[in-house]
């Protein structure tokens, strides 16, 4: 099944506007294109530019059209379109199979398609149909999806500050004033929780998706805990970026799902939720088990488990591993993060500075 589109990369000349900028400054936006760009943005679909043009002239024209703010990491140069697509993908850190590339030139589309067959290449003449295509229509809109572009813009500021920072990474991270909040999911969190299971691939322990009704069942079940996390810092909120589902038995906490948005991987928070769950299982004198199923993209999550000293105890014929931890040595929280827990049933409604 084809994945939802997470980013649209636009060409400019005769795609976003009619005319060729190098030949004349008097180019005009395609009819309805402004509204299409705004609606894609409201759906949480990121957008960028891959154009063979003079960078300053093209940016000035986008600014004149009041569209510059919608495009993240624009690649406006004379390089191949496939290399521009790759650079944008590296900046955004999302899968190439969630990108669409819109260009009026068949050669440019074929060049990108030949290098990256997973990218959806769209003839610019079909731009009016984008909003009706199923892959451009998320199942629902969440507060996080509406703010997605703004959150990436905040990331750009963080990354620029980190690039100019002189000193070790931990010292830089300490300047951000990060707060990591862990709470039991509310019904109002479930649309975002479902979205996380659909969109998160790299740091997803099983690769399984859950729909709203399934998550609501677990949220209200006395035999389960559904935790959701938010990360904030001095620049703003990263949004709800982590999810964990725990099945509780008389003897065990069994971690059925653990995922973390890849956007926060560089912030050193990948193990925080896992350490929290390990602490709670130990506090309740339970043993801890965890499921892991290898996919083509979640190797980093297995590394996280291994680094935390989980061991494999069994596996089935479908590739599902059962991991266990003795809870003797639990990874401490990073010292540069303020951990806030909001779980009344566990008597954790307090701020923990670690």
Taking only the tens place, the pLDDT of each residue in 194-233 is 989 988 777 889 988 899 999 999 999 999 999 999 999 9
8 A C-beta contact, residue 58 and residue 12:
yes
Domains 7-136 and 143-353 share a fold: no
**Rounded distance between C-alpha atoms, residue 99 and residue 4, angstroms:** 9
Beta-bridge mates of residue 76: 51
How many CA atoms lie less than 13 Å away from 206 in the CB half-sphere? 18
Nearest CA-CA partner of 292 in 261, 317, 258: 258
Beta-bridge mates of residue 18: 28
Query: Is the pLDDT score of 348 beyond 60?
Result: no
**CATH entry, 143-353, from 3.40.630.30, 1.10.443.10, 3.40.50.2300, 1.10.3720.10:** 3.40.630.30
Residue 349 confidence (pLDDT): 35
Mean pLDDT over residues 338-354, rounded? 58
Residue 352 confidence (pLDDT): 43
Query: Is the pLDDT score of 353 beyond 80?
Result: no
Query: Is the pLDDT score of 139 beyond 60?
Result: yes
Domain ranges of the chain: 7-136, 143-353
Q: What is the pLDDT of residues 34-60, one digit of tens each?
A: 999 999 999 999 999 999 999 999 999
Structure tokens at 138: 């998320």
Residue 35 confidence (pLDDT): 98
Residue 210 confidence (pLDDT): 92
Nearest CA-CA partner of 11 in 130, 89, 103, 129: 103
**Which of the 8 DSSP states describes residue 185?**
P
Least confident of 44-48, 76-80, 172-176, 267-271: 267-271
pLDDT band at 61 (very low <50, low <70, confident <90, very high): very high
Mean pLDDT over residues 295-315, rounded? 88
Structure tokens at 174: 């300490």
3-state secondary structure of 229: strand
Residue 297 confidence (pLDDT): 81
- End-to-end Cα distance, the chain: 43
Residue 45 confidence (pLDDT): 96
Residue 346 confidence (pLDDT): 53
Q: What is the pLDDT of residues 83-117, one digit of tens each?
A: 999 999 999 988 899 999 999 999 999 999 999 99
pLDDT band at 343 (very low <50, low <70, confident <90, very high): low
**What percentage of the chain has pLDDT greater than the value 90?**
77
Residue 344 confidence (pLDDT): 56
Q: Which CATH superfamily is domain 7-136 in?
A: HAD superfamily/HAD-like (3.40.50.1000)
**Rounded distance between C-alpha atoms, residue 227 and residue 196, angstroms:** 12
Q: What is the mean pLDDT of the chain?
A: 91
Least confident of 17-31, 83-97, 247-261, 299-313: 299-313
């Amino acid at each position: 099944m084809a994945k939802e589109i997470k980013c649209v990369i636009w060409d400019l000349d005769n795609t976003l506007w009619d005319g060729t900028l190098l030949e004349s400054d008097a180019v005009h936006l395609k009819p309805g294109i402004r509204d299409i760009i705004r609606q894609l943005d409201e759906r949480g679909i990121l957008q960028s530019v891959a154009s063979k043009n003079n960078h300053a002239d093209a940016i000035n024209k986008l600014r004149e059209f009041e569209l510059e703010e919608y495009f993240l990491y624009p690649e406006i140069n004379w390089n191949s379109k496939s290399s521009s697509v790759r650079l944008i993908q590296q900046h955004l850190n999302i899968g190439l199979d969630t990108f669409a590339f819109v260009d009026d030139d068949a050669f440019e589309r074929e060049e990108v398609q030949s290098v990256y067959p997973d990218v959806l290449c769209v003839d610019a003449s079909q731009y009016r149909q984008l909003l009706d295509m199923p892959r451009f229509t998320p199942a629902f809109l969440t507060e996080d999806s509406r703010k997605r572009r703004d959150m990436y813009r905040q990331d750009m500021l963080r990354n620029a500050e980190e690039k100019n920072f002189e000193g070790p990474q931990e010292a830089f991270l300490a300047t951000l004033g990060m707060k990591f909040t862990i709470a039991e999911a509310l019904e109002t969190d479930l649309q975002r929780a479902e979205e996380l299971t659909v969109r998160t691939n790299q740091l997803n322990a099983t690769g399984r998706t859950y729909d709203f009704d399934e998550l609501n069942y677990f949220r209200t079940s006395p035999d389960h805990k559904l935790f959701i996390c938010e990360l904030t810092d001095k620049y703003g909120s990263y949004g709800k970026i982590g999810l964990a589902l725990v099945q509780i038995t008389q003897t065990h906490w069994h971690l059925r799902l653990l995922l973390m948005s890849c956007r926060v991987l560089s912030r050193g928070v990948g193990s925080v939720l896992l350490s929290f769950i390990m602490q709670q299982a130990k506090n309740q004198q339970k043993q801890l088990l965890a499921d892991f199923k290898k996919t083509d993209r979640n190797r980093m999550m297995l590394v996280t488990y291994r680094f935390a000293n989980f061991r494999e105890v069994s596996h089935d014929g479908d590739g599902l591993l059962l991991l266990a931890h003795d809870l003797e040595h639990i990874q401490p929280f990073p010292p540069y993060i303020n951990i806030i827990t909001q779980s009344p049933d566990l008597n954790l409604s307090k701020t923990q500075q670690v």
